Structure 1
Amino acid sequence: MKSHSVSKPFFRRFAPVLLSAAMLTGAYGPIAQAQTSTATANPAVVLPDFSDIIAKADPAVVNIRTTASVPVRSGPGGGADPYELFRWFFGPDFQAPGMPQQPQPSPRQAPEERTVPRGVGSGFFISADGYILTNNHVVSDAADIYVTLTDGREFKAKVIGTDERTDVALIKIDTKDMTPLTVGDPKQLKKGQWVLAIGSPFGLDSTATAGIVSAISRDTGEYLPFIQTDVAVNPGNSGGPLINLKGEVVGINSQIVSRSGGFMGISLAIPIDEAMRVADQLRADGKVTRGRIGVQIGEVGKDVADAIGLPKAEGALVSNVEPDGPADDAGLKAGDVILTFKGETIKRWSDLPRIVGETKPGSRADMEVWRRGKTVTLSVKVAQLTSQSSESESKAKAEPEHADNALGLGVVDVAADVQRKLGIKGGVQVRTVTGAAQAAGLQPGDIVLAVNNTDVTDASQFGTLVSKLPKGKAAGLLVRRGDQAQWVAVEPSK
């Protein structure tokens, strides 16, 4: 390798410059020293060392592999019969010259099956006697489940119970003296806190990854809100623990948001407190029993909240009440907004199914409801969740239309028999839609049950209510379409 040196004339030529640079360095030495002192006084944030946490948690995390039974089908050329290929193409009765006589067919036998690998996942011990938490989708439809520990031992597991709605499963292996993870409190998590995952991505068991909490109570439309992180989670991590800096499990890694099928920076975990409530029921009964009150609900938008005088855009908007169901017996009506249930505040509409589901069937619960500008307390007897029911759509008989109004609606009275079928009193049915109402999404056939906080009795009274609406301020219309009711904000035309 060649080396390069500087000639003496070159050094002499640039000596004054180098000397000046040295003088400047000396002159500004105190400033440089001061900057160094400041940096020392405010050292950079030291990243956490996860090694101790992983060393303690690792023995509690297991690899799960499952198998499935698939039927064996003989194809062309399969079996010992050299003429099977002909019979495959020409049918079982095919007979060629010189071909041995085909024996009489034997009674039909059950198709043979073979066991094949189905998938891999993760799990973790929650007790010393071998109970393991994982995801339902890891073990569902599996013929056999095998659990491998970090020390290499393998056990065949049995399913204690699964819950598809929360994607939680409880399995058990015949062992003792296991090291369970300590259960933490996910409600104490904050955005930006460090968390880590241990699992078997792509079958690579005992793999640890780390990241931060990206969001709390992420609502994805599922039954439970998720913990969102940027911890690298891939296929095979499902069912593994999400662990905080105290070494406590705070979630079960369950899903990733991805367009490629691999990790793209967004992973979702089931909060461990919700999972443990499910596990307790699975351990006791092998199944989960949930409560229901017989309502269909939706979100409360800010424009609707303003229109009906609700202080905050919170709660669950009741769009339909099941006839003769628990909520109907309690006096709940379509258009009501459920603010609290059993003393718990309903901040998002999705909070209600979870809180009601956790309520013991047969017990009574109070709910605070926003109705016509004031709060009403109702007592409901919670039933057991079995199946959903819905009402059939009904249409009103044609009647003379009422004159169009400032909302752009032409309406008629709702026939008495239709009111009985729908379980409503009064209301008007929309016949024509123009202007502001059309822009708000109303359609012919919709039934308007209330304007702001006043119930609609008939078309004449509806016209009076609309004529008194202030210009420039959106009015809240409680609109029923089919078996759903929704508050819609419509601003009267000037």
Structure 2
Amino acid sequence: MRRLFPFLCLLLLFAGKVQAADLLSSIVEVQARIPGDARTAESLGSARTGSGMVIAEGRAVLTVGYVILEADAVTLRTADGRQVPGEIMAYDHETGFGLVRPMRDLGVPALELGDSSQLKERDRVLIAGHGGSAAAQPALVTSRRTFAGYWEYLLENAIFTSPPYENFAGAALIDQGGRLVGVGSLIVGDAVPGLGVPGNMFIPVEALLPILEPLMETGRSPQPPRPWLGLQLDEERGRLFVRRVSPDSPADLAGLKRDDLVLGIGGTPTATLADFYRALWRAGEPGSIATIQVLDGLTARPVEVRTGNRYRYLKLNRTY
């Protein structure tokens, strides 16, 4: 009965609108191999697995970017066990999406992209990873709000859901019309702000639609890259602490270190990650100087950092 439960919920959710088996077959497993010398091998691992959704008439598989970041080999596996090699089409840090091109026909239908901007609190949705009906779970949208990640990442209008879905990396968020409206990114402890309700954060496909064709054609968004520091920050009670400094990054070269207390940037006090990132990205393009105020004893000490380009720092294009 436990195995049938997600499938029964799915049928109730999409009754009369889509064929459940076809919908779930569009979700494949994404296996990525990352070389040991990759910048993200230590933090994210050298063997990564997630889910991905077949889109664009079968020409691409959409997943969360960190699954395939710096990979030199990608394999796609369908629910019936068919394995097809893939090559990385695109990685877009600003949104968090990744695209893989199947090297052969996967033999499954493509998912239709929905309008995630219409998704609101209390809407019923389905979360599904690779693995068919056993990997499907009904959920509710609990919040739409800005999400700031410690890895210099800011996502507007992120989708939060509950209850939590364990295999969230690249999982599909599907609306009541059977359309893809989000891609799984994280498990969180605050799916409902201020209440400590666990759940997941999904990247809305509304962030993908304006850049999908350029990503598929060139591997890059048409938006200019943002200045990058290589600084991971924790936000704690209105203060920002350095969590980690990426080796050989602009922040590392400028002398910033773990546990530094960051007060602001460019003369602007910053109490939240979102405030800090917005002030940083207003400072200019990669190569510009960002002046970061760090607490040194009882006074603020300015640290000048020549910002960099994240895409040049990472070891990309392994499978192009």
Q: TM-score range by the shorter chain?
A: 0.5 to 0.7
Residue 62 and residue 217 in structure 1: after superposition, are their counterparts in 2 closer, same or farther (change >3 A)?
A: same
Q: Superposed, which structure 2 residues align to 1:293-312 within 5 Å?
A: none
Q: Superposed, which structure 2 residues align to 1:59-74 within 5 Å?
A: 59-68=25-34
Partner of 1:228: 160
* Worse overlay, 273-282 or 165-174: 273-282
In 2, the alpha carbon distance for the partners of 1:165 and 1:205 equals: 30
The Cα of 1:117 is off from its aligned counterpart by 8.2
Quick check: 1:136 aligned with 2:65?
yes
After TM superposition, the score normalised by the length of structure 2 is: 0.59
1:252-283 residue CA offsets vs partner (Å, 9 max, x unmatched): 01111259xxxx73100001010333433321
Aligned to 2:103, the other structure's residue is in SS state coil
Q: State which of 188, 192, 196 in structure 1 corresponds to 2:118.
A: 188
Quick check: 1:254 aligned with 2:166?
no
The Cα of 1:124 is off from its aligned counterpart by 0.4
Q: Which has the larger share of strand?
A: 2
Aligned to 1:255, the other structure's residue is in SS state strand
Residue 287 and residue 193 in structure 1: after superposition, are their counterparts in 2 closer, same or farther (change >3 A)?
A: same
Residue 154 and residue 444 in structure 1: after superposition, are their counterparts in 2 closer, same or farther (change >3 A)?
A: closer
In 1, the alpha carbon distance for the partners of 2:104 and 2:73 equals: 18
In 2, the alpha carbon distance for the partners of 1:444 and 1:166 equals: 38
Partner of 1:450: none
In 2, the alpha carbon distance for the partners of 1:188 and 1:242 equals: 14
Residue 292 and residue 118 in structure 1: after superposition, are their counterparts in 2 closer, same or farther (change >3 A)?
A: closer
**What is the percentage of aligned positions where both structures have the same residue?**
21
Quick check: 1:389 aligned with 2:318?
no
Q: State which of 53, 59, 65 in structure 2 corresponds to 1:124.
A: 53
Partner of 1:55: 21
In 2, the alpha carbon distance for the partners of 1:279 and 1:129 equals: 14
Q: Superposed, which structure 2 residues align to 1:80-479 within 5 Å?
A: 118-176=47-105, 178-200=108-130, 204=131, 207-221=135-149, 222-225=153-156, 226-235=158-167, 237-257=168-188, 265-291=198-224, 385-391=285-291
After TM superposition, the score normalised by the length of structure 1 is: 0.40
- If asked which structure has higher relative contact order (CA below 8 Å, sep 6+), I would say 2
Contact 2:24–2:132 (8 Å) recurs in 1:
no
In 1, the alpha carbon distance for the partners of 2:303 and 2:203 equals: 33
1:334-386 residue CA offsets vs partner (Å, 9 max, x unmatched): 77xxxxxxxxxxxx869968xx89xxxxxxxxxxxxxxxxxxxxxxxx97x42
Contact 1:63–1:205 (8 Å) recurs in 2:
no
In 1, the alpha carbon distance for the partners of 2:93 and 2:176 equals: 30
In 2, the alpha carbon distance for the partners of 1:47 and 1:392 equals: 50
Partner of 1:105: none
Residue 231 and residue 244 in structure 1: after superposition, are their counterparts in 2 closer, same or farther (change >3 A)?
A: farther
In 2, the alpha carbon distance for the partners of 1:197 and 1:256 equals: 13
Contact 1:210–1:232 (8 Å) recurs in 2:
no
The Cα of 1:145 is off from its aligned counterpart by 1.3
In 2, the alpha carbon distance for the partners of 1:62 and 1:292 equals: 30
In 2, the alpha carbon distance for the partners of 1:174 and 1:293 equals: 32
Contact 2:86–2:100 (8 Å) recurs in 1:
yes
Could you tell me which runs of 5 or more consecutive residues in structure 2 were left unpaired when the two chains were aligned.
Answer: 1-8, 38-44, 191-196, 228-263, 269-273, 305-320
In 1, the alpha carbon distance for the partners of 2:69 and 2:225 equals: 26
The Cα of 1:288 is off from its aligned counterpart by 2.8
Aligned length, in residue pairs? 233
Aligned to 2:112, the other structure's residue is in SS state coil
In 1, the alpha carbon distance for the partners of 2:278 and 2:115 equals: 21
In 2, the alpha carbon distance for the partners of 1:117 and 1:244 equals: 33
Contact 1:127–1:179 (8 Å) recurs in 2:
no
1:381-402 residue CA offsets vs partner (Å, 9 max, x unmatched): x97x424522488xxxxxxxxx
Residue 130 and residue 266 in structure 1: after superposition, are their counterparts in 2 closer, same or farther (change >3 A)?
A: same
The Cα of 1:167 is off from its aligned counterpart by 2.1
Aligned to 1:233, the other structure's residue is in SS state coil
Rg larger for: 1
In 1, the alpha carbon distance for the partners of 2:163 and 2:218 equals: 34
AA of the residue aligned to 2:70: D
RMSD, matched Cα: 4.2
In 1, the alpha carbon distance for the partners of 2:226 and 2:47 equals: 39
Contact 2:186–2:200 (8 Å) recurs in 1:
yes
